[in-house]
Structure formats: structure tokens, C-alpha cells
Amino acid sequence: MTPPQIAEIDSTSHSAPLVAILGRVDLGVNGDMETIETPYGQVEAVMSSLGGVPILLISRHGKDRLPPHRVNYRALVAAAALAKARRLISVNTVGSMSPIPGSFFLPDDFVEFTKARPNTFFEDRATHVGMSRPYCPQIQEALGHGLEKAGAAASRGVYVCTEGPHLETPAQIRMLSQYGDVVGMTGYPEVVLAREMCLCYASLCLITNQASGLAEGPLSARDVGETTERLAPVIRQILEEAIVRLPVERRCSCHRALDDAHI
């Protein structure tokens, strides 16, 4: 059973040629901007291809550059599903809270401290998707391969999501570092919504800075933006290698996420 608002899609299908990429990184691919209508609102996306594989590039923050706490996460995930993507790769920027090497991070798990974000498609029926393994192992494997091919150092661990939009205080980081390794504002609730939609989802995190209070000098949003732009070509290479590696058939259990989710 798919979420009632978009019952016409069958996101449980095994075969998934189209991959959606969610983020704000300019991957330098061509394509026409289109607007996807969803029951939650409109989403801007570009249909293109990477390494010969069809991709749908979804702009997380949209043309209005919405801040993380106002992003319409339900519309973004619904748009991917309505466009018939069954895999969603998210690119999220993070600050590092532990002395981990490299510029990239693959979350295996997450903790969230958000406050006011609609986090389910099922408002009227108790639906409890499993989160024992929040990120799709098949996409994670492909991203690991992409990182290796691109020669990009990466680590894995726990992603902590804050509400934002302000960057954290040093005291917040001391607290949050008890819970995870990196901190960001965009990885939740998209991870849960994708699972509710039976999509395969994984995140490629880009470490743009040491979290607040851990580096010399104050942290600013400009540092985050500059690192993202600088690493855009590497991100593109990682994604391309990963997408080409993904088999069309989904061999994970993500497409069965709703089988046991209703009591």
C-alpha cells in the first residue's frame, strides 16, 4: 500500500532504471527544468543522464532557496516517486564533530533533533516503517565504489540532523557529538519519507567544515558554500560511478518497507 495521496504509483516495483538525485550541487549536466506537481506542492527538477543512466535532478531548496527547516520534504520525495524513480541519492552538506578524515561521509544511521517538519505521508493511519537499517545497502555499496574510483577519502557513522537554520553553538556540538559523527540540517525527514514511499535512499555527505567550536575561528555559512562549489566535480564523478554500478534490479528490501508497517 502506497501513501493514500499518491496511490496511483507502484513504488514497490523491483526494476528501477531512473535514479533521482536530491541536492543543491551543480553537477554541470544539461537538461530542461520541469515542474512536477505533487499533492504536497510543486517541485522543480531536471531530467538528464549521467554515465548513460537516466537521472532526475531534484533541487532541494528550489528557486526560492528555502532554508532547511522550510524545505517541502514530502513534495520532494513524492516528486521522485511520481517521476518513477525508485532510487533516491541525496547529497547533504555536514559539519564534522569527530576527527574523521576525508571530505566525504556515508551515514549508516541517524539521530534527529528537528522540531517542526512534517515527517510522514501517513497522517491518518498508524504506519511504522522499520528503521533498523535506514539507508539502502545497495546504494551505499555503489557510493562506496564511486568514492573509491574518485579517490575520495570517506568515513561512515551516524548523522545528526538539527532544525537550523542557525549553525550550532559550541555547547550544542559538545552535546550532539555524544550522539553522532557529523551534523547537518537536511538529511531528515527525507530518509524516513523515502522509506515510507518504498524508495531506496542513501546519502552522500559532503564534509564542509569542522563543527562549531572545533576549529580555530568562527564558522560561517560562506565556508560551507565555497567547499560545496569546490568539490562539485568530485561529487559528480562519485555519483556517476555509483549510478553506473547500480543494477537495474533492486535486490534490497526497501521496496517491501510497508509490508509489516501497519499494526
190 sits near ligand HPA (criterion: CB under 6 A):
no
Q: Binder to ligand HPA among 45, 129, 150, 211 (CB under 6 A)?
A: 211
Q: Considering the rule CB under 6 A, would residue 185 count as an interface residue with ligand HPA?
A: yes
51: left (phi over 0), alpha (psi -120 to 50) or beta: left
Q: Is 228 in the site for ligand HPA (CB under 6 A)?
A: no
Q: Answer whether 35's CB lies under 8 Å from 79's CB.
A: no
Q: Are 69 and 163 in contact (CB under 8 A)?
A: yes
Site for ligand HPA in 5-44 (CB under 6 A): none
172 belongs to the binding site for ligand HPA (CB under 6 A): no
Closest distance between ligand HPA and the C-beta of residue 18, in Å?
Answer: 28
Cell of 218: 568562527
For residue 108, with 0-12 CB atoms within 10 Å meaning exposed, 13-18 middle and 19 or more buried, which class applies?
Answer: middle
Region binding ligand HPA by CB under 6 A among candidate stretches 133-141, 151-159, 204-212, 237-245: 204-212
Q: How far apart are CA 189 and CA 201, in angstroms?
A: 12
79-108 positions binding ligand HPA, by CB under 6 A: 93-95
Residue nearest to ligand HPA (CB): 95
- Shortest gap between Cβ of 122 and ligand HPA (angstroms)? 28
| Whole-number Å distance between alpha carbons of 259 and 94 | 33
